Amino acid sequence: MLGLLARTMAKPAIMKPSALVKPVSVTKIVGRYLAHQEGLPKLPVPPLKQTCERYLAVLEPIISEEEMSHTRELMAEFLSPGGVGERLQKSLERRARKTENWLSDWWLQTAYLEFRLPVVMNSSPGVVLPRLDFQDRQGQMRFAAKLIAGVLDFKTMIDNQTMPVEYLGGKPLCMNQYYQILSSCRIPGLKRDTVVNHALGKTPPTHITVVHNFQFFILDVYNSDGSPLTVDQIYMQLEKIWNSSLQTNKEPVGILTSQHRNSWGKAYSNLIKDKVNKESVRAIQKSILTVCLDAPMPRVSDDLYRSRVAAQMLHGGGSRWNSGNRWFDKTLQFIIGEDGSCGLIYEHAPAEGPPIVALVDHVVEYTKKSEMIRSPMLPLPMPPQTALQYHARDQEGHREGQAEHEHNGT
């Protein structure tokens, strides 16, 4: 929650580890949600003594009395007048005066972008939604179309600044992260990743990525007049995509994004040396979100279904199934299977959980609405398929990165 509460975190109280904290609910008030941003307080730097006391309180249950006694001695030295503690505290306070949030960038860099283990299973949460009542591709396409329309409806509230403002304890919360969850993507690096967001650019993206049988398509979801496509229009486009991607022997290039970040960083730098690959990858990265139309997973008993679908949302089930039907660097990926399974996985760096939860709640409610009366539609062009290919030189870079990863034991 550090990112979401960036500028509004109240001064924490000192609590013993055994104390119970009463849950505090977040309320929403309708209004232009960026109107409150300028008045939000900066994230305060806790007093040095309070920070140290909380540190000791956390350590006490997990270390021996001897270790605790030694730590208290070190802490007393740290807190001595003119000592290291005071100098570091003053440095933090200077940083806090110059920034809106002295912690958020450090948190982003250290907790996420410098973290080199694969994002899959280590930092990207999977979310399982209630099982749906279809068992065929028509149901899969129809639900996917409504889901996409629901995301676009949510996006309209963000773009128009009509998102309800969230309040905690009667005070408005920072809403900046709502702009980070769409049209954003993590970019692999050799030692540190970056995050790009295109939502506030001069020409914000108007397309999503749809992936089926490991093949990536660019689907424009807005009409020429700027209005979003209707559910029926989206459905027809998804049908075209499905029918043109029936081959199941395509290279699962997306599975590269599940690798150790250093390995993927090397493979990525080789992958985008090819001009066509670079354009294809950029289109995926810039897209509003990714929708994964999964092939059927192995049938299991009802008792095992929850575990199977959880694995599907977390990692796709492995290379034999749908793990190549992903771009794990993408911030938001909705996953719809032919068997009624549905959920999402999101890359955690751009935002904490609450904006994702708000979007998912909105989309789920939107998909429950009865469909509007259909009207005649003008035919839309076939969504273009990316020409993403994994060449021999990419494989060489991938192997080099993998060898380095294994040598370092990380």
Q: What is the DSSP string of 313-355?
A: HHHTT-TTTTTTS--TTBSEEEEEETTS-EEEEE-STT--HHH
What domains does the chain contain, in order, with CATH numbers? 26-112 (1.10.275.20), 116-408 (3.30.559.70)
Q: Residue 363: in which H helix or E strand, if any?
A: helix 353-367
Distance CA(409)–CA(293), nearest Å, equals: 35
Strands in 332-337's sheet, in edge-to-edge order, are: 126-128, 342-346, 332-337, 290-294, 207-212, 215-220
* pLDDT digit string, tens, across residues 255-273: 999 999 999 999 999 999 9
Between 132 and 17, residue with greater pLDDT: 132
DSSP, collapsed to helix, strand or coil, labels residue 108 as: helix
Residue 11's pLDDT is what?
32
**pTM for this predicted structure:** 0.82
User: From CA 149, how far away is CA 155, in angstroms rounded?
Assistant: 10
Give the model's confidence band at 188: pLDDT under 50 very low, under 70 low, under 90 confident, else very high.
very high
Residues written for the chain = 410
Q: Are 91 and 237 in contact (CB under 8 A)?
A: no
pLDDT of residue 397 exceeding 90, the answer is no
Averaged confidence pLDDT in the chain: 84
* Residue 217 β-bridge partners: 210, 385
Q: What is the pLDDT of residues 125-182, one digit of tens each?
A: 999 998 888 888 899 999 999 999 999 999 999 998 888 888 888 888 888 889 899 9
Least confident of 4-18, 52-66, 111-125, 232-246: 4-18
| Range from 52-56, 281-285, 371-375, 390-394 carrying the lowest mean pLDDT | 390-394
Q: What is the predicted pLDDT for the residue at 34?
A: 63
**pLDDT over 80 (residue 21):** no
CA distance 71 to 68: 5
> Catalytic one among 315, 348, 398, 405?
348
pLDDT in tens, 345-386: 999 999 988 899 999 999 999 998 876 545 556 667 767 666
Band (pLDDT 50/70/90 cuts) for residue 232 is very high
Round to whole Å and give the CA distance between 18 and 39: 36
Averaged over 333-340, what is the pLDDT? 94
| Pair 43, 101: CB distance under 8 Å | yes
**pLDDT mean over 267-287:** 94
Tokens of 48: 């040095």
Answer yes or no: 348 catalytic.
yes
